Structure formats: C-alpha cells, structure tokens
Amino acid sequence: MSRATAPSKENCIDGYKYVFNKDLLKDKVAFVTGGGTGIGFTIAEVLMRHGCDTVIASRRLDKLQESAATLEAATGRKCIPVQMDVRDPKKVQQAVGEAMRRFGKINFLINSAAGNFLCPAEGLSFNAFKTVMDIDAMGTFNATKVVFDEYMKNHGGVIINVTATLQVRGQVYQCHAGCAKAAIETMTKHLAVEWGEKGIRLMCVAPGPIADTEGFSRLGGKAIRDDYIKTIPVQRLGKREDIANTVLYCISDAAQLLTGTTVIADGGAWLTSENNLGRIRRIVEMYSKL
C-alpha cells in the first residue's frame, strides 16, 4: 500500500477473550475521541462488548460512519458517529450536545485523538509543534471541559487520557509529542485533585509500541527488527486489544482508588529500549526508503 492510499476498513477483534463479566458496563455510555480508527476504535469495541453504548468522534465523518456500522454489527450495541475537531471548542460542544440528545448521559470520556510524526527538534516548524500541541493537549482539555460541563460536573464519571511514554525519558525525535503528552499527564493530576469530590476519576493510559496501528508505521514500525523486540521484557509488541483492556480496567469499579496517575502499558519497553539518536536516525532513513 502506498502512503497516498486511503486507510483500510477497521476490523474488530477475532475471538475476543473476556476477562471481565460481559455486562460490566451495561447501559453505560462512552464518548471516544479518535474513535473511528486505531486504538480509539478498539477501545470503543471492547467497551461495547461489555455492554456500553458509544459515541465515536473525529474529523472524517465517512470513516466514522463505516466504523460505527462495523462496531454495531460486531457487538450488538449502539454506536453514534459524530464529526468533530478536538481543536475547536464549538465543534466539541456540538458533538457532546448530540451525544447528550441521543443518550442523555456520558459516563466515560476516552481522549484518544492524537497526532504525531518523527522529526528532529531542529527541523520542527512553529506550526508543526503547535499543531501537535493543539490536537493532543488542547484537544484533551477541550473535550474534557465540555463533557464536565454538560454531564460529569453533576453526575460524576471516569475520564481516560491516552498518552505515551515519550515524555518519561525524553525521546529522540519526539519533542513535540512528548511535550504534549507531558501536558496531558500534568492536566490529569490537577483535574483529579479538583474534581475528585464530584465523583470524577481521571487516569492516563500510556501505550508503548503497538504493532497494529497507523501511528506505529508512521513512527518507523516497519523498520523495527527482532532484536528490538527482544529488548522488551515481555518479548513482544503490544496490540490494540491490550490497551483497550487496560482502559476497561481503569474505568471499571475494580479501579476505584486509581485517579491522577498513569498506567504505562508497554510490556516494560520504556525501561529497556535504547533511546539513541544514531539508532533512531537510521530507523528514519530506513523507513523513508520503504
């Protein structure tokens, strides 16, 4: 597939294995930004498989509609596609308003919308840095604030922000995304402190390298070799299903004491993976030739 080719249709999990009761989230509603593709799509799927109805939101309505139909067919739950740009507060308000009209509640907010690419800091344009900050950090705040105002302020809920491990050590070629994810994690702590008394929990889930994602490919995944995988303590790359199951746990009643913290779900990769400028540069060069 060439880079210009439109992304393929999203597929649901084949043979999903339940760890929790299938009715764990019965009659709950989740609002998932970035829910039409990638990790967001699979998070929506797993929540729906446990009885939750969903609203999936992103900029591409055609993709959202296709994904919503796929999710409903696989799970038997309701999925509403809503076009939205997380960078635009008015668009977010309209999308959340539609969700409230359709369901009357939003029990869970999953902030999964994000943008990223490999780039040395010296090559970042002002606009490129701002764009990633706007999508990731501002987008997370926009969706969080609107859902808080429209429902959770008076009814409580759980908010999960999907971040990364880039900011933990300072990752090569990821200054823009690392700064955005660090901002989200700090925001999560502040809001957890302020909103806990309102019955709201906020958590971050930080994936590592997740093989079956477009982001993984964009960040040089095609050039990753077996010797890299052997450096990961669990000896494998992550799957979208892994992250969805982690989110499921975090929003469940089993995690009632978890708030304001980050669950790093990467098999220990951040502890052991090399963070070497020369190696990353070679990966970028290899990927550019594929």
Q: Is residue 196 part of a domain?
A: yes
Q: What is the mean pLDDT of the chain?
A: 91
pLDDT, one tens digit per residue, over 26-37 is 999 999 999 999
Is it the case that residue 225 has pLDDT exceeding 70? no
Q: Is residue 21 part of a domain?
A: no
Q: Is residue 6 part of a domain?
A: no
Q: Is residue 262 part of a domain?
A: yes
> pTM for the complete prediction?
0.92
pLDDT at 1: 31
Residue 11 has φ and ψ, to the nearest 5°, of -115, 145
Our count of domains for the chain comes to 1
Query: How far is residue 116's CA from residue 192's CA, in Å, rounded to a whole number?
Result: 26
- Contact indicator for 273, 237 with CB cutoff of 8 Å: no
Taking residues 5-34, report their average pLDDT: 92
Sheet holding 200-207, edge to edge: 79-83, 53-58, 29-33, 108-111, 157-162, 200-207, 262-265
Domain that holds residue 59: 29-211+238-271
Place of tokens 């609002």: 31
Residue among 85, 57, 196 at smallest CA distance from 142: 85
pLDDT, one tens digit per residue, over 66-83 is 999 999 999 999 999 999
pLDDT, one tens digit per residue, over 179-213 is 999 999 999 999 999 999 999 999 999 999 898 76
H helical segments located in the chain: 38-49, 61-75, 89-103, 126-133, 139-147, 153-155, 166-169, 175-195, 214-218, 226-229, 240-251, 269-272, 277-288
Query: How far is residue 42's CA from residue 59's CA, in Å, rounded to a whole number?
Result: 18
Confidence of residue 277 (pLDDT cuts 50, 70, 90): confident
Is it the case that residue 289 has pLDDT exceeding 80? no
pLDDT at 5: 44
Domain containing residue 43: CATH number: 3.40.50.720
pLDDT at 227: 78
Q: Is residue 39 part of a domain?
A: yes
pLDDT at 123: 94
Residue 156 has φ and ψ, to the nearest 5°, of 75, 180
Residue 251 has φ and ψ, to the nearest 5°, of -90, -10
Q: Is residue 71 part of a domain?
A: yes
Query: How far is residue 278's CA from residue 116's CA, in Å, rounded to a whole number?
Result: 20
Q: Is residue 149 part of a domain?
A: yes
Q: Is residue 218 part of a domain?
A: no
